[in-house]
Amino acid sequence: MSLPHPPCKPQPKASGSAGRHNRAAFLARAAFGILGTVTALGAVSGAEPAAGALPSASLKGKRKSKVRRWDVITLGNLSRNRYWGEGDDRGVRSAICTCTVIQGEGFRLIVDPSLAKAEQMTAELDRRTGLKLRDIDAVFVTHEHADHWFGLAHFPEARWLAAQDVAAALNKTHKLPKQVESATGKLFDAVEIIATPGHTLSHHSLRFDCDGVSVVVAGDAVATLDFWRDRRGYFNCVDFDLSARSMNAIAGLADIVVPGHDNFFLSL
Ligand SMILES: [Zn+2]
């Protein structure tokens, strides 16, 4: 799990007493951020904070929730990553997206099934949850880019769900053996569908509470942690300003963000 990061933009060089003051203030802020995170996680796990510990960061999640657990099934990666020194003009590896299973009272929901080969999807689902493909009741697709629904057909008995315009776009491809249903509001009285436009105009993410923590499964509204820090859309984003605003909105909702192509991280 990644800890919160200090500011990434280059800071002016410190000098003299003002510099020492700034550095001390920076280190104090960084220490508070890390200790606050540890304390908050202790609070979530039920551990008693040590005497004299800093107060917990306030979590946005609610204790009461029908979600029992959630698991990342595949860790995504990008086809090109400017933060690794790669250009936006061509892909240098194949991409898969981060795929998540959310389980709760009466439902098992998979988000953005990423793997095109049935045997791979079967193996990863088993490896991470012990579930079989047929155990999944519903699939939610965040947006119409194919790497987010390569594995949809492996769940023929599940309901296929997406926000209205995403469902329409998927159904128009005529590549799927059955219709994707339009979904709004809350799934299974537990998982909220939230509009997060920018990467695509109809992009939607999911938000839920689990163990008192608010989790946003962001899809490509957040590409990776590096893109999140800079509030930067991926190269194929249709509206970069809108994308940044959606990331700010997610920051206001989430304690944990599951991005579209990276491991999950804290947003406290
Ligand atoms: Zn995408």
User: Could you give the CA distance from residue 139 to residue 173 in angstroms, rounded to a whole number?
Assistant: 18
N- to C-terminal Cα separation, the chain: 13
Distance from residue 145's CA to the centre of ligand 1 (Å): 5
pLDDT, residue 137, reads: 97
Distance from residue 217's CA to the centre of ligand 1 (Å): 14
User: Could you give the CA distance from residue 27 to residue 78 in angstroms, rounded to a whole number?
Assistant: 33
pTM of the model as a whole: 0.81
Least confident of 35-44, 74-83, 192-201, 213-222: 35-44
The model's pLDDT over 236-262, given as tens digits with 9 standing for 90+, comes to 999 999 999 999 999 999 999 999 999
Distance from residue 203's CA to the centre of ligand 1 (Å): 9
Distance from residue 228's CA to the centre of ligand 1 (Å): 15
Distance from residue 166's CA to the centre of ligand 1 (Å): 12
Give the chain's radius of gyration (CA, Å).
20
CB 117 within 8 A of CB 94: no
Q: Is the pLDDT of residue 20 over 70?
A: no
User: Could you give the CA distance from residue 268 to residue 266 in angstroms, rounded to a whole number?
Assistant: 6
Q: Return the ∠ at Cα 232 (arms to 213 and 183), rounded to 5°.
A: 55
The model's pLDDT over 23-32, given as tens digits with 9 standing for 90+, comes to 444 444 444 4
Q: Is the pLDDT of residue 118 over 70?
A: yes
Neighbours of ion ligand 1 (CB under 5 A): 145, 220
Task: Render the burial of 125-138: b for 16+ CB within 10 Å, e for the rest.
Answer: beeebebebebbbb
Distance from residue 221's CA to the centre of ligand 1 (Å): 8
Distance from residue 200's CA to the centre of ligand 1 (Å): 7
Pick the residue with more confidence: 20 or 129? 129
What percentage of residues in the chain have a pLDDT greater than 90? 78
